[in-house]
Amino acid sequence: MDVKKIRKFFTRLAAWVGINICSGIVRLAPAKYLYFFARQIAGLAFIFARKQKAIALDGLSIAFGKEKSPRELEAIAKDCFVYMAKSAVELMFFFDKPKALKERVHMQGRQNLDAALARKHGVILVSAHFGNFPLLLGSLAVEGYQAAGIMKPMHDARMERIFFKKREKFGVKTIYSQPRNICVNSTINALRNNEVVFIPIDQNFGTAGVFVDFFGAKAATATGPVIFAQRTQAALIPCFILRQPNDHHQIVFEPELKLETGTDPAEVIRENIQRLTNIIETYIRRYPAEWGWIHRRWKSKPPAKDPKQPT
């Protein structure tokens, strides 16, 4: 008997049951109570989700340990749990009322997106697991843009089917990150069809990406946005969604980032990914609780010595 597999099965089953119960509560409860409900969920999670809390505090220590006190770091972590819970109940609520997004989500810098789309090469929205980013995609679809997001499928197939159907109801196309060849071909086809493709590059990418500076530490980062832009001439636009004090949201489209060029292809990719990562770090510094700290961003370590270098 594999105890680990049994524990994983019951954990996923509990999550599936929980998401269905929460979804039912959100559909039935008056909208004015949604955020109260979210705060209760966040409070319980901050107490009982010890592993995720520890990961968040560890990441915050790497990023801000020299600048903020332990009490400040814990306050950010707690706010992060609250924001994630708010995002979850918002998604459950708006999945069934997509048109209501127009009243709750506003766009800044939309002209940057429209100008890039006018060139007919597609747009890559480079972002992070920041704010209620699924709501960002839903808002684009509601506003009439052809929107797709590159996403890693959830480990629990039942949970993934729930969210896939919800994204489909919004009108958002899902491009799964695996298998790799299908992901690459689907993304290139979407860009050549002048669609908007959302690509977050803020999570650990193992040995397949490049190591760039992120809060002063090396972080393994995906290179997809730059490679896709090189192959399709798609525009690179950093984009973020910010929660407002009244729990409305503002989507910010930064000016297009023009690719740096050079004679060394690998260095060109690394340099441009560093520039994009710098922008992501700037937003996280401004709004630290908006980022998903419950991920081991610095898990992979750069090799002690570059294997390409001669011995």
pLDDT per residue as tens digits for the range 226-246: 999 999 999 999 999 999 999
Condensed to tens digits (0 to 9), the pLDDT of residues 40-56 reads: 989 999 999 999 999 99
For all residues of the chain together, what is the average pLDDT? Answer: 89
pLDDT at 27: 63
Closest CA to 90 of 22, 151, 150: 22
pLDDT category of residue 65 using cuts at 50, 70 and 90: very high
| R_g (Cα) of the chain, nearest Å | 20
Strand pairing report for 105-108 and 249-253? parallel
Helices first, then strands: H and E counts in the chain = 11, 9
* Residue 16, pLDDT above cutoff 50: no
pLDDT at 311: 40
Q: What is the mean pLDDT of residues 127-136?
A: 96
| 97 against 18, higher pLDDT | 97
Angle at 222 between CA 170 and CA 250, to 5 degrees: 40
pLDDT at 152: 85
Q: Tell me the two tokens of residue 80.
A: 């992060």
Please provide residue 87's backbone torsions phi and psi, each rounded to the nearest 5 degrees.
-60, -40
Among 89-98, 196-205, 241-250, 257-266, the minimum mean pLDDT is found in 89-98
Q: What is the mean pLDDT of residues 300-310?
A: 68
Answer positive or negative: Cα dihedral of 128, 154, 185, 136: negative
pTM over 0.95: no
Separation of alpha carbons 217 and 61, rounded Å: 12
Condensed to tens digits (0 to 9), the pLDDT of residues 146-179 reads: 999 998 887 777 777 777 877 887 889 999 999 9
